Structure 1
Amino acid sequence: MGSRHDYYRDPSAPKANSLVPGGSALVVDERGAILMQRRSDSGNWSFPGGIMDIGETLEQCVVRETKEESGLDIEITGLLGIYTDPEHIIEYGDGEIRQEFNVTFYGRVVGGRIEVSDESTEVRFLTMDELAELPVHDTVRLRLRHHEEQRGTPYLG
């Protein structure tokens, strides 16, 4: 742990030197619980996801990253929102300081089985009540709140 540090609306945040398109999946099971992974780099619970590779769409990226990080095959079913807040800065141990750029898609499981990757210490479906008691970054809590609100249109911000 400790190779990633998130700053959110923090005046002491370092200046971003990178902007990388990425996406994540908000996958809900039949009970309404949400697929979450506990990140090995920060210890926080988060959605599976990652950054695009050249030659793929963002949707393909999110499907690929969800498989790599959770063991589950998903299909994209919708769009929760676009999250590009310049006040969310992510500092990595290698000197990269990235401004948030995340598109969060809705997805549903179509196959596979839950497996933990080297990017996480745990992967499981968690209810909103369970998540209230766990370490979750404010920017992920914002997305969870948008999901709870059952918005009719995607969040743009």
Structure 2
Amino acid sequence: MGRVEYFDDPDAPRPNSFVVAASAVVTDEGGRILLQRRTDNGLYALPGGVMDFGESLPGAAVREVREETGLDVEITGLVGTYTDPRHIIAYSDGEVRQQFNVCFIARVVGGDLRISGESTELCFVATEEIDALPMHHTQRMRIKHFVERRGGPYLG
């Protein structure tokens, strides 16, 4: 299933869905950030996805990282909340979501890096190399907020 992301675009379709999602900034020992190249849009992104019934939002981030990368992680902090109603995601099946994502900080505690059906590539990337990658600007914003080491989480 394909997807197209819009931000502050007057031509974006009207949302018909609101889904709670979690993502995580996972770093290696060298401070490089784990990114996946998504199969649905070809862009690099942080691992993450939709929260399931019966789980917490941090638990959803841990599960999604495991499913998408093969790595077991522990949540260590919060980057921020990303709920700007101008961020719309349209899926090829007709679902159009208003974005709602909480982005966590996580560290690897086990597992083996492996590609899932949701990505074509997984890589740890140095922060100074991220600008050269094709990525939606809302993903860049989360990474920027992480790198800034703010005094508190971004609330937006």
**TM tier relative to shorter chain:** over 0.9
**What does 1:4-153 align with in structure 2 at a 5 Å threshold?**
4-153=3-152
TM-score where L is the length of structure 2 = 0.98
Cα distance between partner residues in 2 of 1:64 and 1:145:
24
Amino acid of the structure 1 residue aligned with 2:71: L
Cα distance between partner residues in 1 of 2:144 and 2:41:
21
Shift of residue 27, structure 1, vs aligned partner: 0.8
Shift of residue 34, structure 1, vs aligned partner: 0.2
SS in 2 for 1:5: strand
Amino acid of the structure 2 residue aligned with 1:36: L
Q: Which runs of 5+ in 2 are unaligned?
A: none
RMSD: 0.9
Please list every run of at least 4 consecutive aligned residues from structure 1 whose deviation after the TM superposition is greater than 6 angstroms. none
Contact 1:114–1:124, Cα closer than 8 Å, also in 2: no
Please say if 1:154 is aligned against 2:153: yes
Aligned residues with identical type, % of pairs: 56
Shift of residue 129, structure 1, vs aligned partner: 2.1
Cα distance between partner residues in 1 of 2:51 and 2:108:
21
Shift of residue 150, structure 1, vs aligned partner: 0.9
Cα distance between partner residues in 1 of 2:145 and 2:59:
23
Cα distance between partner residues in 2 of 1:40 and 1:47:
13
Q: Which runs of 5+ in 1 are unaligned?
A: none
Cα deviation 1:3-26 (Å, max 9, x = unaligned): 100001111111111000000010
TM-score where L is the length of structure 1 = 0.97
SS in 1 for 2:77: strand
Shift of residue 98, structure 1, vs aligned partner: 0.1
